[in-house]
Amino acid sequence: MQHYMKCLLAISLSLIGSCAAAQKNDAIIQTEQMQQALARGAIIWDVRDEKSYLEGHIPGAINIGDAGNVLRDPNKEDYIATEKIQAIFNAAGLDVNRDVVVYGSRGNPYVYFGLYTINYFGGKQAQIYHDGIDAWKSAGLPIQKERSNLPAVSVALVPQPQLVVSNEEMLRIAQSKSVQIIDARTPDEFSGKDVRAIRGGHIPNAINIPFESNWQDPAAAIKLSKKQASDNSGMALKSQADLKKLYSNLDPNQDTVVYCQSGVRASETATVLKNLGFKKVRVYDSSWLGWGNNLKAQVADETFLNVGALNAKMAAMQGKINQLEEALKAKNN
C-alpha cells in the first residue's frame, strides 16, 4: 500500500509539473497567470507611452516609453542599432534572459512587437498579457502610478536572424509554393487600394488574413473610432477553437511566413499561430515597406503611389491651415 501511495504521489506531482510547464509554454496569458508572474518575480514590461504608464500601470511594471517609437527608426521602421537598444534595456533592468511578461492596452499589436523584440535578441521566457491594463483594471486589481525601477543590468543582446525573414530570402520564398505566406494587413492594403509604400498590392501567393481577425470582433477598433463601442472588449482574442477555425486552411506543419507593413501586426499573428501549434512561423521583418519599395520584387494587384499628386494635396491642406490660422489670429486681435 505504501508503495502504491508513493506511485500515486509521483504521478500527481508529474501531472502538476506537466500542467505548469504547459501553462508556462503558452506565449499568451490571462489575468490569473499575470498575477502568478508577479508573484514569482517576473519582469513586467509596459510598452505604452510614458503618459499612459504614469496614469496607471500594473504594480512593479517598468517602462521605456512607447516601444514602437523608442526602438525603431521613424522612417525605415526598422530597429535602431542593436547597441542602442542594448543600452536602453540594460538601463531599464530589462534582462531578456529572464522571465518577462509584456503588456499594454488590449489589442495593441506593439505588445507583440515587444515579445518579438525580446525573442529576436535572445530571450526564451517571454510571454504576453494580451488583455493588458484593461482586463487588470476590470478585475479590480491594484494600480500603481509611481514609476517602477529595476537595478541596471549588463546583458549583451544577440540577434537571432533565424527567427526572421530578410528581403533577400523573401524574394526566394515568394517563388516557392512550399511556404505559406500570410498578409496580416487590411483588405484595402492587400488589394492595392491603400498604398503605404512606393507601390501597393501584395506579395504573389500570399493570403490575406488581417491581424484583427484574431479578435472576437475584427471591427472593434473601427467601432471605437466612430464611438459605436464604449470599450475595447471586442479586441480580446477569439477562443482557441475559433482561432483554429480561422487558420484551418493552413498546414501547421508547413513553413509559414507572416508580413504586414513593418512587422508589428505580423508579430501578433505569428504568436497566435505558434500558440496554435504551428511548427515553424517566421515574420518577414521589413514586410511591405521592404517589398513594395523594391521595384525588382513582383507585386500582385500592383498600384503606384503618385508622389506629385500627394505633394499637391499636402500643399493645398497646408494652405488651408495657414488661412485658418491667419483668420483666427485676426479674430483674436
pLDDT single digits (tens) 283-299: 999 999 999 999 999 99
CA distance 261 to 30: 28
Confidence of residue 6 (pLDDT cuts 50, 70, 90): very low
Contact yes or no for 226/219 (Cβ under 8 A): no
- The grid cell for 154 is 549588463
CATH number for the region 162-209+247-308 comes to 3.40.250.10
C-alpha cell at 252: 501547421
Phi–psi pair at 321, nearest 5 degrees: -65, -45
Lowest mean pLDDT among 79-83, 103-107, 244-248, 314-318: 314-318
Which amino acid is it at 244?
K
What is the reported pLDDT for 284? 97
Q: For position 317, what pLDDT does the model report?
A: 77
Secondary structure, 3-state, the chain: CHHHHHHHHHHHHHHHHHHHHHHHHCCEECHHHHHHHHHCCCEEEECCCHHHHHHCECCCCECCCCHHHHCECCCCCCECCHHHHHHHHHHHCCCCCCCEEEECECCCHHHHHHHHHHHHCCCCCEEEECCHHHHHHHCCCCCECCCCCCCCCCCCCCCCHHHEECHHHHHHHCCCCCCEEEECCCHHHHHCCCCCCCEEEECCCCEECCHHHHECCCCHHHHHHCCCCCCCHHHCECCHHHHHHHCCCCCCCCCEEEECCCCHHHHHHHHHHHHCCCCCEEEECCHHHHHHCCCCCCCEEEEECCHHHHHHHHHHHHHHHHHHHHHHHHHHC
Q: Is the pLDDT of residue 14 over 60?
A: no
Q: Report, as an integer, the average pLDDT of 235-243.
A: 97
- pLDDT at site 312: 65
Average of per-residue pLDDT values in the chain: 90
Q: Evaluate if residue 21 carries a pLDDT over 60.
A: no
| C-alpha span between 133 and 166 (Å, rounded) | 34
Residue 76 has pLDDT above 60, yes or no: yes
Taking only the tens place, the pLDDT of each residue in 78-90 is 999 999 999 999 9
Q: What is the pLDDT of residue 246?
A: 98
Residue 175 binned pLDDT confidence (cut-offs 50, 70, 90): confident
What pLDDT does 200 receive? 97
Higher pLDDT, 100 or 309: 100
Q: What percent of the chain has pLDDT over 70?
A: 90
Q: Is 298 exposed, middle or buried (0-12, 13-18, 19+ CB in 10 A)?
A: middle
Residues of the chain with CATH 3.40.250.10: 26-159, 162-209+247-308
Q: Is the pLDDT of residue 190 over 80?
A: yes
Which pLDDT value is given to residue 10?
38
Question: Of 210, 186, 190, 194, whose CA–CA distance to 202 is shortest?
Answer: 190
Q: Is the pLDDT of residue 22 over 80?
A: no
* Band (155; pLDDT cuts 50, 70, 90): very high
266-276 pLDDT per residue, tens: 999 999 999 99
Closest CA to 171 of 304, 77, 296: 296
Question: What band does 308 get if pLDDT is binned at 50, 70 and 90?
Answer: low
Residue 306: what pLDDT? 63
- Specify the pLDDT at position 310: 65
Report pTM: 0.85
C-alpha cell at 125: 521566457
Average pLDDT over residues 111-136: 97
Nearest to 153 by CA among 216, 104, 86: 86
Which pLDDT does position 79 carry in this prediction? 95
CATH 3.40.250.10 fits 26-159, yes or no: yes
Asked if the model's pLDDT at residue 23 lies above 60, the reply is no
Separation between Cα atoms, residue 291 and residue 113, nearest integer Å: 20
For residue 311, pLDDT beyond 60: yes
